[in-house]
Each structure stands twice: as C-alpha cells, then as structure tokens.
Amino acid sequence: MTLHNLDNLYRQAVMEHAKYPHHHAPVTEKDKHQIQKFNPTCGDMISLAVTVDDDRIIDCHFDGDGCAIAIASCSMMTDIMIGKTISQSQELMRMFSAMTMGENINFDAIGEAQLLAGVTKFPTRIKCATLSWHALDDLLAHY
C-alpha cells in the first residue's frame, strides 16, 4: 500500500467513524462506571461508560461532542476494547499512546486505531486522539 492510499484510507475511516460512531449511546446514571473527559485545547467532551464482568470488558459506550478525530478515536477504541481483559486493554492503551508519540508498535494489535498514527504530525491533535483512551484508562484504574 502506498502512502497516498494510506492517507485516503485514513481519512475515509476516520470520517466514517466520526459520522456513524460505534457504541455511541447515552451515558446515564444507570452506568455505574463512567467518566467525563474534556480536552480544552479543542473543546472535545466525552462521557465514557464501561462494564466489566469477571475481569473482562463486556460493554463500553460513549456520548459527547468533539472533533472528527476525537469521536472516531473513541469509536475505534470501543470496537477494540469490548471483549478484552483489563490487562489486555491496558496494554493496548499503552501501545496507542506510544503510537501517537511516534513510536513503532505492533500496529495490527490496535486494529483500525492504527489509522490515527497520522496525528503524530499534528501535535495539537494528539490530545483529541488520546482523550477517550485516557478516559478508559482512568475508569479501569478503579477495578
């Protein structure tokens, strides 16, 4: 795959997730484990809820408002995390964070989220991309 195609693929996948985010549902008081995260540099605000059963993430959903990168990243994150154990998801979060810092990681492990590697070129967007991942990290710290 050429770099040009990768750029196109990146744009398409991000726009698709931003327009039709996966696991986008209201976060209400019924969600026992939830967190709100705000990215002041861009204005992204997300609420993220997670349900863990027997050390495994069985549900993860979010609502909120944000730029295409923040919403797409959250959508991709929920896709990857549901079904993972807490330690697996913490490892994936470390990898995603390292990727946004320009480090070389096992890109296949993080699925579509690897398409967000392009944010390393736009330092102000790194916070948009990592917002939801940090939110999940904070939530899982309670388990």
| Candidate residues 6, 16, 27, 42; the one interacting with Zn ion per rule CB under 5 A | 42
Q: Which of residues 82-121 bind Zn ion (CB under 5 A)?
A: none
Helix H or strand E segment including 39: strand 34-39
- Stretch of residues binding Zn ion (CB under 5 A), selected from 39-47, 49-57, 91-99, 116-124: 39-47
| Candidate residues 50, 128, 136, 140; the one interacting with Zn ion per rule CB under 5 A | 128
d(CA 97, CA 53): 25
Q: Give the chain's length.
A: 143
| Candidate residues 13, 52, 70, 115; the one interacting with Zn ion per rule CB under 5 A | 70
Tell me the CA distances in angstroms from 25 to 61, 105, 116, 127, one per residue in order. Answer: 6, 31, 23, 22
- Stretch of residues binding Zn ion (CB under 5 A), selected from 15-23, 48-56, 99-107, 128-136: 128-136
